[in-house]
Amino acid sequence: MIYIENIEDMSAEQDQLLNEVTSNDYKYGFYTDVDIDSLPKGLNEDIIGMLSAKKQEPEWMLEFRLKAFRHWQTMKMPAWAHLKIPEINYQDIIYYAAPKRKVQYESLDEVDPELIETFKKLGIPLEEQKHLAGVAVDAVMDSVSVKTTFRETLAEHGIIFCSFSEAVKEHPDLVKKYMGSVVPYTDNYFAALNSAVFSDGSFCYIPKGVRCPMELSTYFRINASNTGQFERTLLIADDDSYVSYLEGCTAPMRDENQLHAAIVEIVAMDNAEVKYSTVQNWYPGNKEGKGGIYNFVTKRGICKGDNSKISWTQVETGSAITWKYPSCILKGDNSIGEFYSVAVTNNHQQADTGSKMIHLGKNSRSTIISKGISAGKSQNSYRGLVKVLKNADGVRNFTQCDSLLLGDQCGAHTFPYLEVDNDTAIIEHEATTSKIGEDQIFYCNQRGIDTENAIGLIINGYAKEVLNKLPMEFAVEAQKLLQISLEGSVG
Amino acid sequence: MLEIKDLRAAIDGKEILKGITLSVKPGEVHAVMGPNGSGKSTLASVLAGRETFEVTGGSVSYLGEDLLELPAEDRARKGIFLGFQYPVEIPGVSMVNFMKTAINEQRKFKGMDPISASDFLKLMREKKEIVEITSSLTNRSVNEGFSGGEKKKNEIFQMAMLEPKLAILDETDSGLDIDALRIVANGVNKLRNKDNATIVITHYQRLLDHIVPDHVHVLYKGRIVKSSGKELALELEEKGYDWLKEEN
C-alpha cells in the first residue's frame, strides 16, 4: 500500500505544480547580494598559491594542486563528445570567491539573513523542522561551506561529514590516502583543472559496520558573477557500511556562461553500499540559447571490496552543456554497479551523458538505465561503456537506453561501447526511441487533463523507473523539474 | 442537453460529416449505428474536441453553451466523456495516478479542493465493483498490456469514476466476448439516471440487447439517414445495412 500512498503524494504535488507552471522564466533565477572576497581573474601558479593560502592549506595540498596544474597545461580540451562547446577563456575566470564573513556559526541566527533568504527560496531544508525529515545538509554557497548541520548526530555514529577544506585540516590522512585514488588528476582535462583549483566541496567517511541513519545532502549553489565553480566530493564507505547521499543543484540566472567542473570520488569497501543521487537544475540558458552553465563533471566510484555496491541516480534538467558519465569500477568480486539516469534537454541545451562500467571482479554485475528526453532544438546523447577485463568471470550487464522526442527539431543519439575480454560475460543492451503521441495527449485531454499536464504525466511515467530510485523527497522535486523543464515544448 | 445542428467536419480537407442533426435530452440513451466508414467515430471525436478534425459547418450546443468553442479538456471537465474505441497505452502512468489527476482537474475546474486520499480510495473501490475489475488492473499503467476486454472495462470504470453528464461510447462492444459485453453493459446501465445521457456508437445490434436505447439513428456517408425507436436496431440486425444504402 505504501506504493499507492506515494503515488498519491506525488499527484498532489503535481496539482500544486499547476499553479507554479504558469511562468516560463527559469524558476530559480535570482541573485543574492552577499559581499564576495575573491581572487583576481586568471589562472597561473601564483593564483593557485594564493588560493591555497587563502584556504590555509597544508603544503601537501598545494603540491597536489600545482602538480595537477602543470599536467593540465599539457592537455587539450576533449573534442570527442557530441557537443558544440564555445571556446572557454580560462584566464577570464575567477577561481576563488568566498562569502566574506568567515566566522563559524553556532546557530542560523548568526548567518547572513540574505543567505538564509536564498536558501528559503530554494527550499533548502536547513531549518529545524527539516531535521524531522531526516535530512542533514552541508550547504555550499559559492565556495565555502556556510553551515553544517546535524554533525553531532552523525558524530555519534563516528560518521564524518564536513566540507572538503575542513577534512584537509582535520582528517589529512584520509584525504591524502583517497583523494585522487579514483579520479587521478591525470584522468582528463577537467579533472586536472578541478584538481588544481577546486575551491571546496564535501567529505564523507562512514566507518566500518555503520549504517548512516539519515540521507546526507549537499546543496550546491553557484552565486558569484564570473566564478567558475570547482567542487570536489570524496565519499568513503568502509567495510559493511551504508550511506545514501543526495546532491541537488540550482543556480541563479546569469547572462554570461559559467564553467563548472566538479569531481566526485566514491570508495566502497567490502560489503559497503553507497547510493548517490543527483538532481541537477542549473541555469540552462534562455530560449535562444544565451547563457547557461557549462557542466563538465567527472564522477566515479570504485567498488573496491567484495560484495560492495555503488548506485548512481541522476535527474539532469539543467545546464547549457552537460558532459558527465558517472561510472563504476567494479573491482571487488560480486560487486554491483548501477546507473539510473533521466536527462532532459530543451531549447538549445546539449547533453552528452551516460556511464562507464568497468568489470574487474568476478561475478560483478551492472545495470544501466538511461532515459533521455529531448525537446526544442536540443541535442541529447547517451554514451556508455561496458568493459569486461580478462580475469573477470561471470560478469553480467544489462543496459537499457530509451529516448523520447518532443517535436521534430531535437536530436537523440546513442553511443554504446562494448569491450569484452572474457567470454563468460552476459551483456544485454536494449534501446528504444519514441515520441509522445498526439493520441496519448488527446486521451488525457478527454479526461480533463490539459496538454501541459498531460506531458508532465507522460514524461513522469516514462522516467518512473529512474524516479523510483530516488529518495522520496527528491523524487517529488525531480518530478516538478521534469515538467517545468519541458514547459511550452509541445503545442 | 445536446443540440447538434447540421454539423459538418473534415479531415485533411475531406468531408466526413455532411450535416448531422441530433438532439439528446437528459435521461436518454441514443444509439448511433451504421456501416464501417459512415462517420460514427468521427462524430464521437468531434464532439469530444479532437483537433485532427476540422469543423467546417453547423453548430453544437451543450447545456446551452457553444461546445465547439471549448478545448477538449474543458469539455471533459464539463461532463463529456468519450469511451474510446482504441484506448491508448500510457506506459509508466498508473491508473491510480491517472484517475486521481483527472478527478482533481475536474474538481479544480468546479472550484473544489483536491479529493482526499481516503475518499479517493473509497471511490475507486466502489466504482471498481460496478465493472467487476480487480485491484491489480488499477495498479498497472494506463491500458498497458491490457487485453481488449480489459481496456473496454477500464473505459467504463473511468466513466464511473468521472460521472459524466454525457457519455459517448465509441464501439465499446467491439472485440468483447459475451461475458465482457454483459459486464460493460451492466456498468453503463447502473450509471444511467434521469440527469445524464448516453450516446452508444455501435456497428452491431447485440450491445443494444443489454443497453436498451430510447432512440436509434443510422449514420451513412456522413448523414443520419434514419431515426426511430429501439425496434430499428432489430430491423437492421435482420436486414443488414444494404437496404438503407439502396434507399440513399
Q: What is the DSSP string of A134-190?
A: TEEEEEEETTEEEEE-SHHHHHHTT-EEEEHHHHHHH-HHHHHHHTTTSS-TTS-HH
Q: Look up the ipTM and state it.
A: 0.95
pLDDT of residue A317: 86
pLDDT of residue A488: 66
pLDDT of residue A94: 80
C-alpha to C-alpha distance for B229 and B217, rounded to whole angstroms: 9
Across the interface, whether the CB atoms of A15 and B108 are under 8 A apart is answered: yes
From A463, which residue of chain B is nearest by alpha-carbon distance?
Answer: B92
Q: B116: which DSSP letter?
A: P
Give the pLDDT confidence of B15-31 residue by residue, as tens digits.
Answer: 999 999 999 999 999 99
Report residue B191 as a C-alpha cell: 450509471
Using CB atoms, pick whichever of A10, A15, A439 lies closest to residue B88. Answer: A439
Chain A residue numbers with beta carbons less than 8 Å from the beta carbon of B92 are 460-465
Give the pLDDT confidence of A300-343 residue by residue, as tens digits.
Answer: 999 999 999 999 999 988 888 999 999 999 999 999 999 999 99
Which of A446, A457, A459 to mutate: most B Cβ within 10 Å?
Answer: A446
Number of domains forming the structure of chain B:
1
- Among chain A, residues having any CB pair with chain B shorter than 8 Å are 3-5, 7-8, 10-12, 14-15, 18, 437-440, 442-451, 453, 457-458, 460-465
Q: How confident is the model at residue B244 (pLDDT cuts 50, 70, 90)?
A: confident
pLDDT of residue A114: 57
Chain A residue numbers with beta carbons less than 8 Å from the beta carbon of B93 are 457-458, 460-461, 464
Q: What count of CB pairs under 8 Å joins A to B?
A: 98
Report residue A252 as a C-alpha cell: 541563479
- Cβ neighbours of residue A207 under 8 Å, at least 6 residues apart? A157, A158, A159, A238, A241
Chain B nearest CA to A21, separation (Å): 15
Across the interface, whether the CB atoms of B105 and A447 are under 8 A apart is answered: yes
Chain B residue numbers with beta carbons less than 8 Å from the beta carbon of A3 are 139
Low-confidence spans in chain A with pLDDT less than 70: 1-37, 98-152, 218-228, 249-257, 487-491
Across the interface, whether the CB atoms of B76 and A14 are under 8 A apart is answered: no
Q: Are strands A231-237 and A263-268 parallel, antiparallel or unpaired?
A: parallel
CA-nearest of B78, B80, B115, B110 to B100 is B115
User: Do A320 and A284 contact (CB within 8 A), yes or no?
Assistant: yes
Coil, helix or strand at residue B36: coil
pLDDT of residue B234: 82
pLDDT for B134 beyond 70: yes
CATH code, B193: 3.40.50.300
From B104, which residue of chain A is nearest by alpha-carbon distance?
Answer: A15
Average predicted confidence (pLDDT) for chain B: 90
First to last CA, chain A: 37
Chain A nearest CA to B89, separation (Å): 7
Q: Chain A within 8 Å of B82 (Cβ-Cβ)?
A: yes
Give the residue extent of every domain in chain A.
Answer: 1-30+437-491, 36-324
CA-nearest of B117, B172, B19 to A15 is B117
Q: Chain A within 8 Å of B224 (Cβ-Cβ)?
A: no
Chain B residue numbers with beta carbons less than 8 Å from the beta carbon of A451 are 73
Chain B nearest CA to A460, separation (Å): 7
Coil, helix or strand at residue A31: coil
Which of B11, B84, B98 to mutate: most A Cβ within 10 Å?
Answer: B98
**To 10 degrees, what angle do helices A59-73 and A189-197 make?**
150
Q: What is the DSSP string of A48-99?
A: HHHHHHHTT--HHHHHHHHHHHHHHHT------SS-------GGGSB--EEE
Across the interface, whether the CB atoms of B101 and A461 are under 8 A apart is answered: no
Chain B nearest CA to A376, separation (Å): 22
Amino acid making up residue A431: A
User: Do A203 and A145 contact (CB within 8 A), yes or no?
Assistant: no
Which of A2, A4, A441, A460 to mutate: most B Cβ within 10 Å?
Answer: A4
Q: Chain A within 8 Å of B78 (Cβ-Cβ)?
A: no
Domain range holding B98? 2-247
pLDDT of residue A21: 38
CA-nearest of B3, B2, B21, B14 to B54 is B14
pLDDT of residue A104: 46
Across the interface, whether the CB atoms of B101 and A453 are under 8 A apart is answered: yes
Across the interface, whether the CB atoms of A4 and B96 are under 8 A apart is answered: yes
Coil, helix or strand at residue A331: coil
Chain B nearest CA to A478, separation (Å): 16
